[in-house]
Amino acid sequence: SDVAGKETGWLAWYADNQVQLLGWARDPADGTRYGVELEMAAVLSRLAPSFAGGTEPYALLDGDGRIVFQSGAIATGAVPVVTVPVGAVLPHWQVGAYVSGGPAGATRGTFLLLTGLQVGLFVLAIVLGGSLLLWQAHRHWKDAARKTSFVSNVSHELKTPLTSIRMYAEMLAEGRVRDDAKRGEYLKVIVDQSQRLTRLVNNVLDFSRLEQRRRAYRPEPFDLCEAVGEAVESQRTRLQEAGLRVESALPGAPCPVVADRDAVTQAVLNILDNAAKYAAGGGELRVEFSADEKACRARFLDRGPGIPPAHRARLFEQFYRVDDSLSAKQPGCGLGLSIARRMMRDLGGDVRFGPREGGGAVFEIELPREGAGT
């Protein structure tokens, strides 16, 4: 009566506490009914291939909740997070899905992997933190060493010219120098050394003003070639005495700029001072100019040792010296180039270094051309 009006059908039957699957078919010609009992083992063997693969574990559970088939690793006693009834053909049977890696489903392998990862992260954090602390300590130590070296260098630079000035001035004051030529020579030493003192004090003052952003600029229109030429002329004798033959290439066109003339002169003096200190052995210092519609440039080319590639990136840093040891042959405190660049950048320009073809260094001062809109 259950299947009245149907030609074929299935019935699930409980006998001996086990599900029995019965199938039937009716011959429409004479109304004869045929029945079959399906072997449960045959049904299960057909279902087996469906329980393979898949990313999350799942299982077929019989009427008593026992796992008949499973896909993936399921821990003993694990409870499915969701179950779906198979249907009327297998009443009370269910398909259950489990969560992998959860507290109940975590296998030994997953547990070890997670613990290993945690320990690894912990060690990594310690190593990274330790390296950061070491790096900071190293940086502070280097900063402190540089400042000490700066103070020693400045004191040394102040002391040397002061000693000469005092010695020659005392000799002149005591009237011990009778020879006029000698007297002139001593007076020249005094003038040169006081100029050296002025340059140093100006640099230190500029440094502290730039640091505190108190350096005020007074822009005015002038010709860059003329200002550079004037600064070179003021140093010509000193450069010649150092062993440098100064050649100035005349500018092909005017180089009009609007900038702080004192700042430009200071930058030029620092570059010339370096040429006298480090590149005198090369015997030559060439000054060139160029201008286009955007910028005007003054270039200083020497034949000294140049700057080794490893030092070029840090050349313009404060206190940076290629030979930083206190016993360095040339006096200096590593401020000249950093000040020159800071000031030219404040004025919309720059100071750059480049190696010179055939050996030596090229320092270039660039400023925006008057009216170029910078």
| 224 vs 280 by CB, closer to ligand ADP | 280
Considering only 206, 302, 364, 366, the residue that binds ligand ADP (CB under 6 A) is 302
Considering only 278, 298, 303, 356, the residue that binds ligand ADP (CB under 6 A) is 278
Instruction: Say if residues 91 and 11 touch (Cβ distance below 8 Å).
Output: no
| 296 vs 351 by CB, closer to ligand ADP | 351
Q: Choose the stretch contacting ligand ADP; rule: CB under 6 A; options: 66-74, 87-95, 245-253, 298-306.
A: 298-306
- Angle 180-211/261-278 helices, nearest 10 degrees? 120
Q: Tell me the β-bridge partners of 10.
A: 23
Q: Does 334 bind ligand ADP (CB under 6 A)?
A: yes
Residue tagged 């060690």 (tokens) = 123
- What mask, x for binding ligand ADP by CB under 6 A, covers residues 220 to 259? ----------------------------------------
Q: What is the DSSP string of 323-342?
A: S-STT-SS---S-HHHHHHH
Q: Does 315 bind ligand ADP (CB under 6 A)?
A: yes
Considering only 59, 336, 344, 365, the residue that binds ligand ADP (CB under 6 A) is 336
CB 337, min distance to ligand ADP, A: 3
| 6 vs 156 by CB, closer to ligand ADP | 156
CB 320, min distance to ligand ADP, A: 6
Instruction: Say if residues 238 and 264 touch (Cβ distance below 8 Å).
Output: no
User: How many C-beta atoms surround the C-beta of residue 259 within 10 A?
Assistant: 25
Closest CA to 267 of 170, 324, 350, 332: 350
The gap from C-alpha 91 to its chain's centroid, in whole angstroms, comes to 67
C-alpha–C-alpha distance, residues 265 and 232, integer Å: 9
Residues found near ligand ADP in the complex (CB under 6 A): 270, 274-275, 278-279, 302, 304-305, 307, 315, 320-323, 332-338, 361
